[in-house]
Amino acid sequence: MYPRLTRTLLAALCLCGLGACSSMPSASDSLYQQLGGKAGISKTVTMFLYQVVDDDRINHYFAGVNADRLQKRLTNQFCQLSGGPCHYGGDNMHKVHAGMHLTDADFNALVEDLILAMEKRRVPISAQNRLLGKLAPMHAQIVGK
């Protein structure tokens, strides 16, 4: 049904499980650099948020959210997760999503929107998979809370 999504999610899950066994990339091969540094991550997050706003499956969850604040927090979160010099100072994912009762379908829609934003920014698939692998463990902190 979604071959690209399936491929990417499977790769992300594999990366998540095998991350401890693989060697660390060199500085020039860092995920942070592959994502374009903080400026590239910020552009990707902005595109991602535009995708979410246009996504009728999940955009209602973002009604009333301060978009500038969310953009800055997600940029810092992705930057930190990718090995960049940023610090995510927001709440943990469990607290942020408490009482929302999000489903796997909601989570998957968000992932699809992130993938579309990364594709539009021409982020290499290997970098997409590595970032998704860093984000995948958050599923348990978000879905059903």
The predicted pLDDT at position 120 comes to: 96
In this structure, what DSSP letter does residue 84 have?
-
Nearest residue to 102 via CA among 58, 49, 53: 58
Task: Please name the CATH architecture into which domain 35-123 falls.
Answer: Orthogonal Bundle (1.10)
pLDDT of 95-142, one tens digit each? 777 667 788 999 899 999 999 999 999 999 999 999 999 999 888 888
Say if residue 53 is exposed, middle or buried (CB neighbours under 10 Å; 0-12, 13-18, 19+): middle
pTM: 0.77
The predicted pLDDT at position 18 comes to: 38
Q: Is 139 helix (H, G, I), strand (E, B) or coil?
A: helix
Domain range summary for the chain, segments of one domain joined by +: 35-123
Cα–Cα distance, 121 to 43 (Å, whole number): 8
Task: Kindly report the backbone phi and psi dihedral angles of residue 143, in degrees, each rounded to the nearest multiple of 5, phi listed first.
Answer: -75, 130
71-92 mean pLDDT:
90
- Contact assessment for residue 99 and residue 46, using Cβ atoms and an 8 Å cutoff: no
pLDDT over threshold 80, residue 33: yes
Measured CA angle at 5 (ends 79, 86), to 5 deg: 5
